[in-house]
Amino acid sequence: MTRVKPYWQNYIDGAWVDGGAGRVEVINPGSGDVLAEHALADETDVDRAVHAAKRVHESGALPAMRPVERGRMVQAMGRYLLDHIDEVARILTLEQGKPLWEAQHEIAGAARYFEYYGNQAETLEGRSIPLGSGYFDFTHYEPYGVSAQIIPWNFPVEMTARSLSAGLATGNACVVKTPELTPLSSWVFADAAEAVGLPKGAVNVLCGWGHQAGAVLSAHKDVNQIVFTGSVKTGIAIATAAAQNVVPCVLELGGKSAAIVYDDVDLDAFEIDIRQGIFKNAGQVCSAMSRVLVHQNRHDDVVDRAVKIAKSLSVGPGSERVEAGLNMGPMVSMAQRDRAVAMVAEAERQGANIATGGRRMNIPGAFLEPTVLTDVSPEMTIAQEEVFGPVLSIIPFQDESQAIEIANGTEYGLVGGVFTRDLDRATRAAQRIRAGQIFVNQWFAGGVETPFGGYGKSGYGREKGREALLNYVQTKNVAISIK
């Protein structure tokens, strides 16, 4: 394995620069060692980035392009990611922890966003509204201007790609605030923007503390639209800042999503959903399958399968987990791991049973044993709050209405799932679960084409799919009086 560059800079107005707030050490969670340092932006850096983006917007360079041309540039950014997939995946694994094969999937997924939204650039059309013979009226979409994109550490490349691709495809200039735990892999977006010939300042990528650079960016008066993925607490702070400037924001916050598993479930297939749903990225997924609600007749079978999957996972450094399969990396940091351990201990105090896992692993790094909890009741903290770790809570139910009530019994509403061969039952559940996205018989079914976002405290607005493009544009109506 080649050496990681010891120091990484921010990218503002087409130049690599140091940060006014100094540097942050980026820790490899697979070993606990310092991996590299990254520049930290201060208020002045954020201001320069926003002004660069504003200048690009006001120049009209991006909106003036024929959309197909802009779309081709966006698509080319996706190809740039694929051309560098091995390099980016390696860095992503080292800074974030996920197995190398999951990192490769993440980069490929990121590239798909550029392909998808690049394709859509020329399809965003207004409409003509009849007002009678004295008028000709039409609408068209214009970019907001400066799009601020605040990124979490769980899928830093994919999350950046989904906002940046849609923002650029619609003609916005973008300022990306990368997460302080995993800022390194985002260098590729700056390189890609340069490689495809976007004007300087159209894409700015900077790392900084959330409470400092993040807060300054979200409150900046020249930012016209904000996209945020992360915790509810930060989402509220960002929405409050956006409200002060009367600019729209999209909030993609957490979840406590439930799979409802009926007695006719295909358990062999469901094993794959357990691996993917709660142990992918060590459970640090906003749409993780963190609760399984299982019909009481199959409770013990599902517990056995979940424990089997958890115990069969080979857990260790992501860089050594190259092949797709039953393996898992560390959590992103010691702090996140310790928070999850504390939540499991609290669940035990409240009466839950640890069927397997629940402890820190006795190796260097931020490792938590894959964990399955039983005897969980719906009102326990562990069943209400996001753990954001490899911790599955299994809760039995007796009938359909009880299952739906438990599924809907948290303040979140990001995704929900139903596992049954009975189409009527699946359809009823799909209607009644309060969540932005429902999976039937496959957790994470969908793709970049399908809209994604939350009900309740899981946020508002949609990322992914056609719907997301509309977050990046405002409608202008032109009414012409004909004499």
The residues annotated as belonging to the active site are 252, 286
Which whole-number Å values give the CA distances from 242 to 138, 148, 217, 229, in the listed order?
29, 11, 10, 15
Q: Which is nearer to ligand NAD, 171 or 255 (CB)?
A: 255
Which residue minimizes CB distance to ligand NAD? 210
- Which amino acid is residue 176, in one-letter code? V
Which structure tokens are listed for 297?
A: 């007749």
**Min dist. Cβ of residue 278 to ligand NAD (A):** 14
- Spell out where 230-338 has E strands: 249-252, 258-261, 291-295, 314-315, 327-328
**Min dist. Cβ of residue 138 to ligand NAD (A):** 38
Q: Which residues pair with 137 in a beta bridge?
A: 479
**Min dist. Cβ of residue 148 to ligand NAD (A):** 9
User: What DSSP designation does 186 have?
Assistant: G
Which whole-number Å values give the CA distances from 10 to 106, 130, 216, 409, 426, in the listed order?
22, 50, 16, 43, 48
Report the distance separating Cα 257 and Cα 385, nearest Å.
10
Q: Which is nearer to ligand NAD, 63 or 248 (CB)?
A: 248
Report the distance separating Cα 8 and Cα 415, nearest Å.
36
Q: Which is nearer to ligand NAD, 154 or 172 (CB)?
A: 154
Q: Which is nearer to ligand NAD, 74 or 232 (CB)?
A: 232
Q: Which is nearer to ligand NAD, 79 or 105 (CB)?
A: 105
Within 8 A by CB and 6+ apart from 358, the residues are 341, 344, 345, 348, 369, 371, 373, 391
CA pseudo-torsion sign 75, 78, 83, 84: positive
Q: Which is nearer to ligand NAD, 394 or 415 (CB)?
A: 415
Which whole-number Å values give the CA distances from 35 to 28, 31, 85, 427, in the listed order?
6, 9, 20, 48
**Min dist. Cβ of residue 178 to ligand NAD (A):** 7
- Contacting positions for ligand NAD (CB under 6 A): 150-154, 177, 179-180, 210-211, 214-215, 218, 229-231, 234, 237-238, 252-254, 286, 386, 388
User: What DSSP designation does 281 have?
Assistant: G
